[in-house]
Amino acid sequence: MNVEQARFNMIEQQIRPWDVLDTEVLALLAVVKREDFVPAAYRAMAFTDCELPLPGGQQMLAPRVEARLLQELKVQRHEKVLEIGAGSGYMAALLGHRAQRVITLESKAELARFASDNLKRAGATNVTVREADGAQGLAAEAPFDVILLSGSVAEVPQVLLDQLKVGGRLAAIVGDEPVMRAMLYTRSAEREFRSTVLFDTVAARLQGFEQRSGFVF
């Protein structure tokens, strides 16, 4: 397989047509080697338009979904980011190139090790993987400029929204199959949040978010 041609095709045929037009995001996708974050058994599928299996029964989001979420979050160089669901570490690596600091939480020990090893090899020195249940966020490190849920949830718990700075953004894929939507929540004031529908998609459920939280947004 011609890896660079496959990467080019992924960007031009899958990602750009999905309204990912931010030149910095597109350039980053060419730099961060997605194939280095994919389990060895699926490396040949690193650039395909689908979710890929990960250790522990989790899944890696499709490339176009990752790219679109990255674009919509508009992460800035001075910002602190919390990711929930480290997966392979790929999304955290992308975020690390744009943010000052990234903390990514992973509840499965096997997957946390996998992500940590991948990030270390990639030289992502400003990204930290922590083995933890992400459903409660990370209050000790809050507030965050950006929070990303790298998987789907039935709804976004208020406890996570409350860990945003004013002006901060949270992105998540919300709903139940077959209807899910990628959503962007912005904390516009201390007690005010606004939500924007980004796009329709379907993604695997994040560990620890299987049940509805009881919070209403």
96-132, pLDDT tens digit by residue? 999 999 999 999 999 999 999 999 999 999 999 999 9
Looking at residue 216, what is its pLDDT?
44
Q: How far apart are CA 185 and CA 161, in angstroms?
A: 8
Better-scored residue on pLDDT, 49 or 55 = 49
Give residue for tokens 């096997």.
Answer: 110
Q: How many residues does the chain have?
A: 217
CA-CA-CA-CA torsion for 14, 37, 148, 15, nearest 10 degrees?
A: -10
Looking at residue 161, what is its pLDDT?
98
* CB neighbours of residue 160 within 10 Å: 26
User: What mean pLDDT is predicted for residues 149-162?
Assistant: 96
Give the pLDDT band (50/70/90) at residue 212. low
Kind and range of the H or E run holding 9:
helix 3-9
Of 138, 66, 51, give the one whose Cα is nearest residue 98. Answer: 66
Residue 2: pLDDT over 80: yes
Whole-prediction pTM value? 0.95
Residue 39: pLDDT over 50: yes
Looking at residue 69, what is its pLDDT?
98
Structure tokens of 76? Answer: 């800035």
Better-scored residue on pLDDT, 210 or 75 = 75
Q: How far apart are CA 83 and CA 91, in angstroms?
A: 9
Domains and CATH numbers, the chain: 3-201 (3.40.50.150)
Better-scored residue on pLDDT, 130 or 208 = 130
- pLDDT more than 70, % of the chain: 97
- 17 preceded by cis ω (within 30°)? no
Structure tokens of 201? Answer: 């998609």
